[in-house]
Structure formats: structure tokens, C-alpha cells
Amino acid sequence: MTIIASIVLGIIEGVTEFLPVSSTGHLILMAEILKLPTTEFLKSFEVVIQLGAIGAVMVLYWRKLLLNRAVLKRVIVAFLPTALIGLVCYKFIKTYLLGDSRVVLVALFVGGLILVLFEFWQSRRSLGGLTSKLENLAEMPYWQAVVLGLCQSVAMIPGVSRSAATIVGGLALGLKREMIVEFSFLLAVPTMVAATGLDLVKSSVGFSLNEWGLLLVGLMVAFLSALLAIKSFLNYIRHHDFIAFGLYRIIIALAFASIFFI
């Protein structure tokens, strides 16, 4: 990997981490375009670089996460299912799923269909008045936090999108769009810190000095680009639904499938 590739991947990570389009899936597809060999370092890079984007969440939301105990407790409860499932499935995911563009394309396509169909269902549901009365995250029942954690765990499959899984789960529960998106941001913090820590413990011994440098560059670029992406995404969802993201996923999946496999 070159420093240019590290910067490109950092930008992609920062821009896509919090969008319902799968940052990991985009990193894997870009690695294919750049013809990067699927090494253990690349797989670790695709996991660890997400910590840069999470740093942006900490800068923007540290008061809500650290100073609001009610919200923090709900984030921790939602994190536990992901932590347990991730610990059990880590080896399988990294060995067989990370780096496999076929898995990514199928997940992107199916996830895109689900987003589009879900939004049509959601619009009818909203007309019937079936929305939650919750005004802030501190009022969320703990059982809903557990459900959101289980939804997020599905995103261990590359291409599913942690953000999309959490958002769809939250909307299915009747939570307001901006509220569930913010919860998705906050839930990403312990999730990605744990995923990064686990990967570094298991893989970092084999990193060279050059690879550590590339990783640092990617983290910094991901952090800066995520700062811009988070605010833009929140502004977008105040006025739009997620159909555009669903259609984007479908188009990307079909386009890459035609490049790679046809």
C-alpha cells in the first residue's frame, strides 16, 4: 500500500462511516480498484481506520456520551450484544468475509432493496400515526437499546452497513429519524473502539514501521473527512428519507458486479 492509497481509503472511510452505505464495503471495493493485495495488514487497516471516524464523533458528541448518564447507559446496553457476537465471530469474519467483494456486493444490493422497500412501508406507517412519542435518547426503553444492538451486529457482514442496520431497526421501533441517527453515531464509539482494540491485539505485532505510518495517515484523514460528513448527513436527514441511499447501494452493487464478474 502507498501513502496515496492510504489517503484515498481514509477519505472514503470518513465520508461513508456514518452513511447507510457501508464504509467497510466501500473500502473493500476501492482496494479492488487500486489492486491492493488482500493481506492481513489490509484487512486490519479496513477495521482500524474506522477509529479515525469515531474520533470525530467523540469531538462532536462527547458531552452527550460522557456527561449524560442516562444516554451512556443505553449505549452500553446496546453495545453488549455486538460485543458478544463479535468476540465469537471475529475469526470467521476476518478469515472468510473481509476482503471478499462478492459478499460486499450481495450485501449492498440486498441492503439497498431493504432500505427502499422499508421507506415505502415507513411512509404508510407514518400516515397511520405509528411513531414513537420519545423526545430524547435518555427516555429510550432498555429493551429497545438491546434490539438496536442486535441490529447493529448484523453489520459485521461487510457491505451491510452498521449505520443502515441500526437506523432501520430504530425506525422499525418507531423512533424519530434524527434521534436514531444520533444514537447510531454514539453506539459506533464503543463498537469500533472494541473492534479496533481486538484487531490490534491479534494482528499489530506483525506490522512494519511503514505500515504503522500508513495506518496513522489513514486515521488522520478519516477523522477530518468524518467531521464534515457527520454534520452534512444530519442536515440531510432533516429534510429527506433514505431512499436515495438505497438506490445508490443497488446501483453501486450492479456496477461493480458488471466490472468484476461479467
Tens of pLDDT along 175-228? 888 888 888 888 888 888 888 887 777 766 678 888 889 999 999 999 999 988
Given a cut of 60, whether residue 129 has pLDDT beyond it is no
Q: Compute CA distances 178 → 130, 189, 238, whole Å.
A: 17, 18, 7
Going by C-beta distance under 8 Å and a sequence separation of 6 or more, which residues neighbour residue 205? none
Identity at 134, one-letter amino acid code = L
Going by C-beta distance under 8 Å and a sequence separation of 6 or more, which residues neighbour residue 184? 18, 152, 162, 163, 166, 167, 170
Say if CB 166 and CB 20 are below 8 A apart. Answer: no
Please spell the DSSP secondary structure of 145-167, one letter per residue. Answer: HHHHHHHHHGGGSTTS-HHHHHH
Given a cut of 70, whether residue 131 has pLDDT beyond it is no
Tens of pLDDT along 73-113? 999 999 998 888 888 887 787 777 776 788 889 999 999 99
Rounded to two decimals, the pTM is 0.83
How does residue 130 score in pLDDT terms, banded at 50, 70 and 90? low
Q: What is the mean pLDDT of residues 108-131?
A: 77
Say if CB 170 and CB 184 are below 8 A apart. Answer: yes
Tens of pLDDT along 8-61? 999 999 999 888 898 888 888 898 889 888 888 888 888 888 888 888 888 888
What pLDDT, on a 0 to 100 scale, did the predictor assign at position 224?
A: 93
